[in-house]
Amino acid sequence: MDDRAAMEICVAEAEKRSGKNAVSMQETFTVYLIETRPMDAVAEGHNPAPDCLWRRYSEFELLRNYLIVTYPYIVVPPLPEKRAEFVWHKLSADNMDPDFVERRRVGLENFLLRVASHPVLCNDKILCYFLTEEHGWKEAVYETGFQAKADSRLRALSATFRVRNPDKCFMEMKHYSDELQSHTSQLLRARARVADRLYGVFKVHGNYGRVFSEWSAIEKEMGDGLQSAGHHMDAYAASIDDILEEEEHYADQLKEYLFYAEALRAVCRKHELTQFELEMASQDLISKKQQREELATGIVRTFSFKGMTNKLFGQEAPEQREARLKLLEDLIAEGEETVKEKTIERHVEKAWVDIQRFKEQKDKDLREALINYAVMQISMCKKGIQVWSNAKECFLKM
């Protein structure tokens, strides 16, 4: 990481604001406070006041879109969801809900840390502007001309095309990205269903608490034990809110890889497009060279309407032939340049290096997330055992 990117980054807080949008309509939106400090100052034990600026979610989107277009061979880290997906019934789908905004704040910080620690993206000057320039960074983005590239690339990717010689490695990786997305979405759906059921099971324990408490009022010998057991059941019923809120953190880690799968597919799809463009340019160059040979030798190898016309009405004048040869030479030179450009644009080695880097990161992150999720489930079950052990002690004292 170079000096520009060597900084400590934190999305410290979120704030709700109101203002007028592009069409002068009043709207409510959330802004996020980005704090940065020079890493060398932190390493030397200094604690300078951070540089601070506010950014909207849409500005994070603009940064990411710029990175996707500028670095087509990189699996660009995804942003957290704009609106909650895979929600269970108690979880709000409102994008202004404080819990959702807090989770998104964490996700946006994670996005910036991922980008800033990437061996290539960390050196991008637009990233530096985003982190340090309150005003003028958008103009700097648009001056790069990325939007025109984005629009033309989007149209090209939307078109149907068939690659004649697809790269087997990229084809397999594209298939893998589809499978990864499918499995993570199924896991998230299953987790949301379990959360729904679990919430109900925990909350219904509150009925034990109510019954034991009411029952204790009519008992002399058993009263204290029943009431104490009731308190344990009430605490158990209430504990599920914090448990499932913590669980959302692990769900968000899975969601990140659901969106990463799309980023991986995009790299493979862009490689496919540049491969197709290279094949078309190569084919066009071969055709132009064949035309030049036919014109230079007078031997027509393929049927053409022009060839039939010459046979019927005589050959063209030498001046016309020279002019056509000159035009073909120019077109061939252009075609060779295009083929060279398209070959460079494929970025095969760079893309493959970044895909391997992504795979290593994915394996490490998902392993850690799944282990932590399992540990959390074990802890929750132990709490349940402890509650019933406490209730048993209460009953033994009756």
Sheet holding 7-20, edge to edge: 7-20, 26-38, 51-56
Kind plus residue range of the DSSP H or E element containing 88: none
List strand residue ranges (DSSP E) for the chain, in order.
7-20, 26-38, 51-56
With b meaning 16 or more CB within 10 Å and e meaning fewer, what string describes 207-241? ebbeebbeebeeeeebeebbbbbbebbbebbebbe
**pLDDT tens-digit profile, the chain (398 residues):** 444 447 899 999 999 888 777 666 788 889 999 999 887 766 666 677 788 999 999 999 999 999 999 999 999 999 998 887 777 666 666 677 888 889 999 999 999 999 999 999 999 999 999 999 988 899 999 999 888 877 766 666 666 667 788 888 889 999 999 999 999 999 999 999 999 999 999 999 999 999 999 999 999 899 999 999 999 999 999 999 999 988 888 999 999 999 999 999 999 988 888 888 888 888 888 888 888 787 777 665 655 555 555 554 456 667 777 787 788 777 878 877 877 777 766 678 899 999 999 999 999 999 999 999 999 999 999 999 999 999 999 999 88
pTM, two decimals, is 0.81
Nearest to 109 by CA among 9, 224, 192: 9
Distance CA 193, CA 190 (A): 5
Which residues lie below 8 Å from residue 237, measured CB to CB, with a gap of 6+?
202, 203, 204, 205, 206, 209
Which residues lie below 8 Å from residue 398, measured CB to CB, with a gap of 6+?
221, 222, 224, 225, 226
Distance CA 91, CA 239 (A): 16
| Contact predicate 79/104, CB 8 Å | no
| Contact predicate 174/265, CB 8 Å | yes
In terms of Cβ atoms closer than 10 Å to its own Cβ (0-12, 13-18, 19+), residue 134 is exposed
The torsion angles phi and psi of 301, rounded to 5 degrees, stand at: -90, -25
Q: What is the pLDDT of residue 312?
A: 46
| Contact predicate 394/216, CB 8 Å | no
Q: What is the pLDDT of residue 155?
A: 67
Distance CA 208, CA 395 (A): 14
> What number of other Cβ atoms are within 10 A of residue 88's Cβ?
18
Q: What is the pLDDT of residue 245?
A: 87
Rounded to the nearest angstrom, the gap between the alpha carbon of residue 140 and the centroid of all alpha carbons in its chain is 23
Which residues lie below 8 Å from residue 272, measured CB to CB, with a gap of 6+?
161, 163, 166, 170, 174
- Give me Rg for the CA atoms of the chain: 32
